């Protein structure tokens, strides 16, 4: 087991993310949530500061940082704005990571460099109306036409769906081979036949844009396939393993943000002649929150450190994602309870964090899927 220690560089990254979140994301976060407004200007600044390609090699426009730096930044961003955190997470963990690890040199030069430098955003297109957790049941087809593929189908619940310029699309080419016949294709926004569907009206992370994407005879050059023919399913699963670390960090940030707000409020709010933090009932809640959040943070940091050390991190990532997402949901409910009636209104932020927390138990695989992954690793 790895127990990482934070270096001065890690602490500097953490402080930079904390400062950005408080100075750039906090103003207007309630309004962006209420009106489901994509944080265009804030995302542009995130790109300029290097938050959209943190782990990518500087050779391709990235920051060359380790995974631990990345999760430290994600936590600080998610404390304030979980929508911005998931935009950042998808671009880093799924799109940039997948391209750098498995893409050709030409693909990296053409697509990874603008993604890592924040010039454009990317999206990861796996889920479908009938293929969410069951990623083997891809209905989107990529028909092999010799020098190109002809793509037809629909992808659902795509983060950065409308704002992304580059999409990694998982599609079935050889149905008779089932999961071994799936490919991953790089598709550019604006190509003929590629259209963006309606924006989803969501419970939480409302400022991130979640859309369906439709493909109607979209012609994709063969050179835009990532890996060998049939590598798409392995690409998706391997990429999602790293993605779980990013979502775990997002969940951790939501929980920590709610705890910090509840702690501060408990010192200010008075009941029966003294701050409610002096009532044992509130102290017990705060103690439980701090303990579970600390445990979640250790799991997230351990998963990041395993990945950085080149170790097998599948189990560690699934454990971190499972536990941190459950802590996020529980801690935000407790934070609302500590705030009482004020916790139910927008002004105090915790109701938004509670709504944002739920999705961390769903995307990158539900809690039940994480348990399956963990059990499979234990029984290998």
- List CB contacts of 250: < 8 A, sequence separation 6 or more: 74, 75, 78, 82, 85, 86, 89, 360
Q: What is the sign of the dihedral through the CA atoms of 316, 322, 326 and 329? A: positive
User: Is residue 364 among the annotated active site residues?
Assistant: yes
Active-site hit among 130, 311, 364, 377: 364
Active-site residue set: 364
């Amino acid at each position: 087991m790895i127990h990482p220690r934070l270096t001065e560089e890690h602490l500097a990254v953490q402080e930079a993310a904390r400062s950005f979140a408080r100075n750039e994301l906090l103003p207007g976060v309630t309004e962006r949530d209420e009106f489901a407004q994509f944080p265009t200007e804030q995302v542009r600044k995130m790109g300029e500061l290097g938050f959209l390609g943190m782990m990518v090699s500087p050779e391709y426009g990235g920051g060359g940082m380790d995974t631990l730096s990345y999760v430290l930044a994600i936590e600080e961003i998610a404390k304030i704005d979980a929508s911005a955190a998931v935009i950042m997470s998808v671009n880093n963990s799924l799109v940039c990571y997948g391209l750098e690890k498995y893409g050709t040199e030409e693909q990296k030069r053409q697509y990874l460099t603008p993604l890592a430098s924040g010039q454009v955003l990317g999206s990861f297109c796996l889920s479908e109306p009938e293929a969410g957790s069951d990623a083997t049941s891809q209905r989107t087809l990529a028909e092999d036409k010799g020098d190109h593929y002809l793509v037809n189908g629909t992808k659902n619940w795509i983060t950065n769906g409308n704002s992304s310029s580059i999409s990694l699309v998982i599609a079935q080419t050889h149905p008779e081979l089932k999961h071994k016949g799936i490919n991953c294709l790089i598709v550019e926004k604006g190509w003929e036949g590629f259209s963006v569907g309606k924006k989803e009206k969501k419970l939480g992370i409302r400022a991130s844009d979640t859309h369906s994407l439709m493909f109607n005879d979209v012609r994709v050059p063969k050179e835009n396939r990532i890996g060998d023919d049939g590598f798409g399913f392995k690409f998706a699963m391997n990429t999602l393993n790293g993605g779980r670390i990013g979502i775990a960090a997002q969940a951790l940030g939501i929980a920590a943000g709610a705890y910090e707000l509840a702690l501060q409020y408990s010192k200010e709010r008075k009941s029966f002649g003294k701050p409610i933090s002096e009532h044992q009932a509130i102290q017990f809640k705060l103690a439980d929150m701090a303990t579970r959040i600390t445990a979640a943070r250790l799991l997230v940091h351990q998963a990041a450190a395993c990945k950085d050390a080149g170790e097998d991190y599948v189990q560690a990532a699934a454990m971190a994602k499972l536990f941190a997402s459950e802590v996020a949901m529980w801690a935000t409910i407790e934070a609302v309870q500590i705030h009482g009636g004020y916790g139910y209104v927008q002004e105090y932020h915790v109701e938004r964090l509670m709504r944002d927390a739920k999705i961390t138990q769903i995307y990158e695989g539900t809690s039940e899927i994480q348990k399956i992954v963990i059990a499979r690793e234990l029984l290998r």
